[in-house]
Amino acid sequence: MKICNFRKYKELGLEGGVSIARSAPRWVKGYRCYRPLNPGTWFRSMPTVDAYVNRYFEEILDRLDAQKTYDEIVALAAPHEPILLCWEESDKFCHRQIVARWIEGVLGCTVPEVEP
């Protein structure tokens, strides 16, 4: 499993994309959606990164089973390696990074950002 933004995913012509964003661009094709990891409607109103992370854990990740989530994402992306997608550029904070660290911490695997 890897993480990436929609723009880079399209530019690199990748497959196996799984959107975890509240919405996805029409100009990107061939991805699936995994709604349980979508942030809440509050996602743009958090005053700090720490507040965002805390709320994302409280409302999203703490309610999910990491192994079940991982397995469902792998099944959605099959036969390709899953690539979790959202909007933010690689050098900016985003919830796909939170999900990657959560999966790494709970399941002990590595979930890197896609590199060209």
Structural domains in the chain (count): 1
Residue 88 domain flag: yes
β 83-86/2-5 pair status: parallel
- Structural domain boundaries enclosing 66: 2-107
Q: Which residues contact 107 (CB under 8 A, 6 or more apart)?
A: 66, 67, 70
* SS3 at position 99: helix
Residue 116 domain flag: no
Token representation of residue 75? 């099944």
Task: List pLDDT tens digits, range 7-50.
Answer: 999 999 999 999 999 888 889 988 999 999 999 888 878 889 89
pTM for this model (two decimals): 0.92
Is 105 a residue whose pLDDT tops 90? yes
Write down the pLDDT at residue 94: 85
Residue 31 domain flag: yes
Task: List pLDDT tens digits, range 52-91.
Answer: 899 999 999 999 999 999 999 999 999 999 999 998 887 7
Write down the pLDDT at residue 78: 97
